Amino acid sequence: MKAVRIHSTGGPEVLQIENLELPEPAADEVRIRHTAIGFNFQDIYTRSGQYAAPLPSGLGTEAVGIVESIGSAVQDFKVGDRVCYASGPILAACATHRNYPAARLLHAPTHMQDEQIAAALLKGMTVEYLMHRCYPVQKGQYVLMHAAAGGVGLLAGQWGNHLGAHMIGVAAGPEKVKLALANGYAYCLDRLKDDIPARVKEITQGAGVPVVYDSVGKNSFEQSLNSLAPRGYFVSFGTTTGAPPPVPASTLQKMGSLYFTRPTLVTYTASTQELRDSASAVFDLFAKGVLKINIHQRYPLQDIAKAHADLESGHTSGSSVIIP
């Protein structure tokens, strides 16, 4: 097998493609030959050291493939099954093959192609838990989403529009603003020129929004805080520009009894049932045509360093996939 590995943290230059021997799957595992690999900002966080991982480490949390062999205790899967996953516990998706625990594995839906699943599963489950369980979005509400032209952002626009929310996106530059508006956003602000809180207050007739979903972090922190209505929810689920500053309890009090939370998909899909329910919600909306995935970048495995550089620099839009 070939696998992307890091022996130290740093820039894209630390990425290595290694030839490894894959052992037989354990009793509760299956061996998968990958056909498409999802690529997410979490991979950047791990490679750079922002997310701690024991070194040396593989990378990647989601992929699609074919079962090549099964462990003695596996009952839900058989050789030849088309499968997918979007969670740990070990980072090793960015590879041609891997062994994976059957309890965290999913049957791939027949109505979606391999690349679609790899590009959409983790991002779609992220939108599901954010909009249904972290802060349940209601029909008629105004919702602010940063990075609206990214993979999560585009699915969030479509999903929020389906729920009947008035989606307000934030993106960088006219092309990304246009892309967001074509994917469910009623409004999209340009962070390169707009005063985000002022425009949000204008759109909401001075009220502010009940929830902000912010994956940007440091650079958008003040914008998010100042866009909220009293008792609003600041949902910080990513840090592409670095971690936001600590939030004193007194700040939340003075700005209108605000809520601040830092959720993760890992927590919201901790049980096998939660994982399957979340994935089923995503697959169902694709089957109904509510969700469509925008795959704008495809990289062969040997170009993994370029994929990292492109995503980290903001030169991508929509979703990216790695082709093993």
d(CA 51, CA 88): 14
Q: Measure Cα distances from 299 to 39, 40, 155, 190, 323 in Å.
A: 10, 13, 21, 28, 6
From the list 208, 214, 213, 212, the residue with the least C-alpha distance to 244 is 214
pLDDT of amino acid 89: 73
CATH 3.90.180.10 at 2-120+266-323, yes or no: yes
- Look at residue 309 in the predicted model and tell me its pLDDT: 97
| Tokens, residue 54 | 């024991």
pLDDT per residue of the chain (324 residues) written in tens, 0 to 9: 999 999 999 999 999 999 999 999 999 999 999 999 999 999 999 999 999 999 999 999 999 999 999 999 999 999 999 999 998 778 999 999 999 999 999 999 999 999 999 999 999 999 999 999 999 999 999 999 999 999 999 999 999 999 999 999 999 999 999 999 999 999 999 999 999 999 999 999 999 999 999 999 999 999 999 999 999 999 999 998 989 999 999 999 999 999 999 999 999 999 999 999 999 999 999 999 999 999 999 999 999 999 999 999 989 988 999 999
> Which of 13, 9, 12, 94 lies closest to 48, judged by CA?
9
Asked if domains 2-120+266-323 and 139-262 share a fold, the reply is: no
Neighbour count for residue 99 (Cβ, 10 Å) = 18
Residue ranges per structural domain of the chain: 2-120+266-323, 139-262
d(CA 105, CA 274): 12
Query: Which pLDDT score is estimated for 85?
Result: 97
CATH class of 139-262: alpha beta
Residue closest to 72 by CA, chosen among 47, 102, 46? 102
Q: Identify the pLDDT of residue 273.
A: 95
Q: How many whole angstroms separate alpha carbon 177 and alpha carbon 185?
A: 9
The structure tokens 């030849």 sit at 80
Which pTM value belongs to this model?
A: 0.94
Q: Which residues pair with 66 in a beta bridge?
A: 33, 82
Distance separating alpha carbons of residues 320 and 209, to the nearest angstrom: 30
> At residue 319, what is the residue type?
S
Reported as a single tens digit per residue, the pLDDT across 1-25 is 999 999 999 999 999 999 999 999 9
Write out pLDDT tens, residues 56-93: 999 999 999 999 999 999 999 999 999 999 987 789 99
**The pLDDT of residue 90:** 86
- Spatial separation of the C-alpha atoms in residues 47 and 307, rounded to whole Å: 12
Q: Which residue has the tokens 């704008």?
A: 296
